[in-house]
Amino acid sequence: MNVKYKKYIEYIVNDIEPPYLKYLEQYGLKDDECELIISKVFNQPVTIKDNRVYDINGKEIYYETSTGYWVKYEYDNNGNLIYREDSDGSWVKKEYDNQGNIIYYEYSDGYWIKREYDNQGNIIYFENSDGTIRDNR
């Protein structure tokens, strides 16, 4: 990649914002150039297919519609969804225990839930932001 082209790609990477794919249309780039730029935006190799961006494991990490609505996804090392955000400003965060059980999640509206599980995966403790508590420990 020559220096001028590399600077151009870096300029686009630093310039774009969601909706990424719609934003990239103005540059008239080839598919492989779009993948290069989106890979740099997400700091990982990606593939783009049908307005969806996939990580190296085939997990969808971004989606957008032709109207500009978009959704971003993040996963932990076990492939569990840990964060979801959309163009409406809504988001959700999730945490998991070593068995893959959701132990905490929180929504952008402030609602949250905490859970604990026994060795068989049964919920033994539940608490939420509404003040509901169930304790079977």
Tokens 């076990």 belong to residue? 78
Name 99's Cβ contacts closer than 8 Å, sequence gap at least 6.
117, 121
Q: What is the pLDDT of residues 91-120, one digit of tens each?
A: 999 999 999 999 999 999 999 999 999 999
> In this predicted structure, what is the pLDDT of residue 60?
98
For the stretch 8-60, pLDDT in tens is 999 999 999 999 999 999 999 999 999 999 999 999 999 999 999 999 999 99
